[in-house]
């Protein structure tokens, strides 16, 4: 009954034989493999060749505060923000990181006081991105301490509030919830791109994190960047990356520069035959969210967040947010949504990882077409009337 994926039926890299329709579908991680098809279509446009003698030195730009930043990568980052209009780049330092995961750790180090008795508190409004807690706690550092949900945070003293907008896992746009002094805001803009949400304004905050993982789909390149206003904070972030990995892979930065260049070129090209990366991903997300909402309705056992439309200055379109994850709620009588879906061979990440209850799960919408389509089909067939038959 569900017509899934008419426009998405071209071959993907990993196709499964038809007899494999009972396989488990793993949508736990936000692995952005749906972008492979775009880059296949681009052919050799983003291919680079690195001779054996190139990129050997530790150093990239010794005159720059971030001495391991490849100038061409920095140029393409600035160009992309200018084209999309999602962040102010003037009077900022760019710090490159091994994914924004490393930049988050660099921020914790940079904002912690080395000579304070008390660790700085780290908070984010629940549901929050599950890695913040895991990363903050993993080394049992005395410099910073995970304090959980920002909405119930009442401790005295310095704090860092992580503001993820659009939010992972629920997709809503967010502002800081702690309106008081003594804190530093870190804006995680991994999903502030026009395939996921209308670009309503150019973000203008002190510390902003971005990643190629969710922008172009190149998660395996492990490249992220921070736009940082304060020179001292940027310097301390650079110091952390120096201590942690003596810089960031030049090969990856050069490849990221090329990939971002192709994205920028595709946005600027006026020809009808070239589709921009953002247009490709937007169309796919529209179709995926439509199919998902139909399946949820047909099933009658789940619910999804509802979003208000906004005007996107980049595309000139009005549209509702199309988050990279579905934040699915199981309706009664199901109490543990993650194990319920697992019994139906759909692997997701349960609400507890994000600081809320087990009736919620997060489901990646960025997987390859065949996996996503099978997931939607399976979800729509989970119905109350079938539930007690076996
Ligand atoms: N922040 C958020 C909100 C994310 O969802 C992710 C990726 N899941 C990251 C940061 C980490 O991205 P990266 O691959 O650049 O380390």
Per residue, the 3-state secondary structure of 296-317, as one string, reads HHHHCCEECCCCCCEECCCCCC
Q: Tell me which DSSP letter residue 331 carries.
A: P
Dist. CA 389 → ligand 1 center (Å): 41
Most ligand 1 atoms within 8 A of CB, residue of 28, 190, 192, 362 to mutate: 190
Q: Select from 99, 133, 164, 210 the residue to mutate for testing ligand 1; criterion: most ligand atoms less than 8 Å from CB.
A: 99
Cis peptide before 127 (omega within 30 of 0): yes
Q: Return the ligand 1 atom nearest residue 219 CA.
A: 14
CATH fold of the domain at 18-40+276-387: 3.90.1150
DSSP type of residue 206: S
- Residue 18 tokens read as 């038809």
Q: Hey, which of 214, 223, 256, 364 would you mutate to test ligand 1's pocket, going by the most ligand atoms within 8 Å of its Cβ?
A: 214
C-alpha of residue 124 to centroid of ligand 1, in Å:
15
Q: How far is the CA of 188 from the centre of ligand 1 (A)?
A: 8
Overall fold of domain 71-268: 3.40.640
Distance 6 CA to ligand 1 centre (A): 30
242 three-class SS: helix
Q: 71-268: same fold as 18-40+276-387?
A: no
Query: For ligand 1, is residue 100 a contact (CB within 6 Å)?
Result: yes
Residue 191: partners with Cβ closer than 8 Å, 6 or more residues away = 164, 165, 166, 168, 171, 197, 214, 323, 324
pLDDT at 390: 47
> For residue 244, with 0-12 CB atoms within 10 Å meaning exposed, 13-18 middle and 19 or more buried, which class applies?
middle
Q: What is the spatial distance between Cα 338 and Cα 348, in angstroms, rounded to a whole number?
A: 6
Q: Which atom of ligand 1 is nearest to the CA of 223?
A: 15
Asked whether 194 lines ligand 1 (CB < 6 A), one says: no
Domain chopping of the chain, boundaries: 18-40+276-387, 71-268
Position 269 scores a pLDDT of 85
Q: Which pair of structure tokens corresponds to residue 342?
A: 């697992």
Cβ 167 under 6 angstroms from ligand 1: no
Distance 320 CA to ligand 1 centre (A): 22
Mean pLDDT of the chain: 93
| Helix segments in 71-184, DSSP class H | 71-84, 99-111, 130-138
pLDDT digits (tens, 9 = 90+) for 175-202: 999 988 889 999 999 999 999 999 999 9
Q: Whose CA is nearest to atom 5 of ligand 1?
A: 168
SS3 content of the chain, % helix, strand, coil (to 5): 35, 15, 45
- Residue 133 contacts residue 356 (beta carbons within 8 Å): no
Q: Is 346 strand, coil or helix?
A: strand
Q: Whose CA is nearest to atom 15 of ligand 1?
A: 99
Residues of the chain with pLDDT under 70: 1-19, 270-273, 387-390
For residue 98, the CA-to-ligand 1 centroid distance in Å is 11
pLDDT (0 to 100) of residue 17:
63
State in Å: Cα 36 to ligand 1 middle: 18
**Residue from 29, 23, 26, 8 nearest 291 by CA:** 8
The verdict on the CB of residue 30 being under 6 Å from ligand 1 is yes
Name the maximum alpha-carbon separation found in the chain. Answer: 70
User: Residue 98 has what pLDDT?
Assistant: 98
Query: Whose Cα sits closest to atom 2 in ligand 1?
Result: 190
| Contact between residue 208 and residue 88 where contact means Cβ atoms under 8 Å apart | no
What is the Cα–Cα distance from 379 to 13, expressed in whole angstroms?
24
């Amino acid at each position: 009954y569900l017509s899934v994926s008419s426009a998405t039926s071209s071959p993907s890299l990993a196709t499964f034989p038809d007899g494999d329709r009972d396989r488990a579908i793993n949508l736990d991680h936000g692995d952005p493999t749906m972008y492979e098809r775009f880059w296949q279509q681009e052919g050799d446009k983003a291919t680079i060749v690195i001779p054996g003698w190139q990129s050997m030195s530790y150093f990239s730009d010794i005159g720059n505060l971030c001495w391991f930043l490849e100038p061409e990568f920095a140029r393409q980052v600035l160009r992309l923000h200018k084209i999309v209009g999602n962040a102010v780049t003037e009077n900022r330092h760019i710090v490159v990181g091994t994914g924004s995961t490393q930049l988050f750790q660099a921020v914790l180090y940079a904002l912690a006081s080395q000579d304070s008795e008390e660790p700085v508190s780290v908070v984010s409004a629940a549901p929050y991105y599950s890695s913040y807690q895991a990363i903050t706690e993993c080394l049992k550092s005395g410099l910073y301490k995970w304090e959980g949900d920002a909405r119930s945070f009442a401790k005295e003293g310095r704090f860092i509030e992580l503001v993820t907008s659009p939010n992972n896992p629920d997709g809503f746009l967010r502002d800081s919830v702690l309106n008081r002094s003594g804190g530093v805001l870190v804006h995680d803009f991994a999903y502030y791109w026009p395939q996921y949400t209308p670009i309503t304004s150019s973000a203008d905050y002190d510390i902003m994190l971005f990643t190629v993982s969710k922008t172009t789909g190149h998660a395996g390149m492990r490249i992220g960047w921070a736009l940082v206003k304060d020179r001292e904070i940027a310097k301390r972030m650079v110091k952390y990356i120096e201590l942690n990995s003596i810089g960031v892979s030049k090969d990856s930065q050069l490849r990221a520069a090329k990939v971002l260049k192709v994205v920028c070129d595709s946005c600027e090209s006026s020809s009808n035959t070239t589709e921009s990366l953002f247009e490709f991903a937007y169309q796919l997300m529209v179709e995926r969210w439509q199919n998902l909402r139909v399946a949820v309705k047909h099933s009658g056992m789940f619910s999804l967040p509802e979003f208000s439309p906004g005007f996107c200055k980049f595309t000139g379109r009005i549209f509702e947010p199309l988050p990279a994850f579905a934040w699915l709620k199981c309706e009664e009588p199901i109490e543990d949504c993650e194990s319920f879906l697992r019994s139906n061979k759909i692997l997701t990440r349960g609400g507890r990882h994000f600081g809320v209850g087990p009736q919620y799960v997060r489901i990646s919408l960025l997987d390859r077409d065949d996996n996503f389509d099978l997931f939607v089909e399976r979800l729509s067939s989970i119905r109350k009337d079938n539930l007690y038959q076996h």
